[in-house]
Amino acid sequence: MLLADDDSCWFVKLNRAELLDMFEAEADGLAAMAASASIRVPIPLCTGTAGAQAYIVMEHIALGGRSGSGSGTVAGEQLAAMHRTTASLFGWHRDNTIGSTFQSNRQHADWIDFWRRERLAFQLDLAARNGHGGRLAKRGERLLERFPALIDHAPMPSLLHGDLWGGNFGIAKDGVPVIFDPACYFGDREADIAMTELFGGFGADFYTAYQAAWPLDDGYRIRKTLYNLYHILNHLNLFGSGYLSQAEGMIDRLLSETG
């Protein structure tokens, strides 16, 4: 909902009081992205509880600007700039959520170890507990053993949005690109780029500009499937078996790449 006076307008999100930590993590992510002085994000104002509700208050940015007027190019350049904000370890100083699913951001010095333990293994275990064991679990376990061969480059820990699909990207009325609803951590920048391709919403000008600013390494097309598998498994866990065959197909394609 919106709160406004004569001078300012703020956007307020509400949830159950016991979910305050989710809003606090969101505020931390927005603040980190804003501090990178790159792509525009809503500036968080405060979080807290009022009775049975938790809240986060942030800057309201009116969306609805016209795409195709250079905004995609600017977004690609600015996201590359944000990804140049780096850390010494992969992960984050706190856990957060991906959608409504808990996201473990325990820090690791090794990216392969982080992605195996805090991303794929977590989602595969959750899927088994949600009744999606069997073939998915067996093939998933094989992938966990083999997938280091798929990450054949050495990424630096870049600041990531973490949930960068088309629904979390917009154009402000003044034409400036905006990203919001983050699930931030430090990781391989390709994980952000991969998700932009998962559900669409980003034009060719965005990718051309990103590549010009900071070209992706060879092998991205294979790693893209590995990184997007995390989100498809999360959708399986959130929304049910409609995503099962897609997850299994992605695992099969990745296993075929490992020999």
Mean pLDDT of 61-90: 91
- What pLDDT was estimated at residue 59? 94
The string over 147-179, giving b where at least 16 C-beta atoms fall within 10 Å of a residue's C-beta and e elsewhere, is beebbeeebebbbbbbbbbeebbbbeeeebbbb
The answer on pLDDT for 30 being more than 90 is yes
Neighbours of 24 (CB within 10 A): 17
233: buried, middle or exposed (CB in 10 Å: 19+, 13-18, 0-12)? buried
Per-domain residue ranges for the chain?
2-59, 71-257
CB 243 within 8 A of CB 232: yes
Sorting pLDDT into bands at 50, 70 and 90, what band is 7?
Answer: confident
- What pLDDT was estimated at residue 3? 81
Sorting pLDDT into bands at 50, 70 and 90, what band is 147?
Answer: confident
CB 113 within 8 A of CB 151: no
The answer on pLDDT for 259 being more than 80 is no
The better pLDDT of the pair 147, 21 is held by 21
The answer on pLDDT for 69 being more than 80 is no
The answer on pLDDT for 120 being more than 80 is yes
Phi then psi for 164, rounded to 5 degrees?
A: -90, 70
Active-site annotation holder among 5, 6, 163, 188: 163
Sorting pLDDT into bands at 50, 70 and 90, what band is 106?
Answer: very high
- Residues in Cβ contact with 83 at an 8 Å cutoff, skipping those fewer than 6 apart: 158, 159, 160, 189, 192, 214
- What pLDDT was estimated at residue 68? 64
The answer on pLDDT for 37 being more than 90 is yes
Least confident of 56-70, 138-152, 183-197, 207-221: 56-70
CB 66 within 8 A of CB 197: no
124: buried, middle or exposed (CB in 10 Å: 19+, 13-18, 0-12)? buried
- What pLDDT was estimated at residue 135? 94
Fold classification of 2-59 is Phosphorylase Kinase; domain 1 (3.30.200)
Domain 71-257 is found in CATH 1.10.3210.10: no
- What pLDDT was estimated at residue 205? 95
Answer positive or negative: Cα dihedral of 229, 36, 56, 54. Answer: positive
Strand duo 2-4 + 9-16: pairing: antiparallel
Residue 125 falls in the annotated catalytic set: no
- What pLDDT was estimated at residue 67? 66
Least confident of 128-132, 145-149, 157-161, 181-185: 145-149
Task: Output the pTM of the full model.
Answer: 0.95
The answer on pLDDT for 227 being more than 80 is yes
Mean pLDDT of 202-228: 96
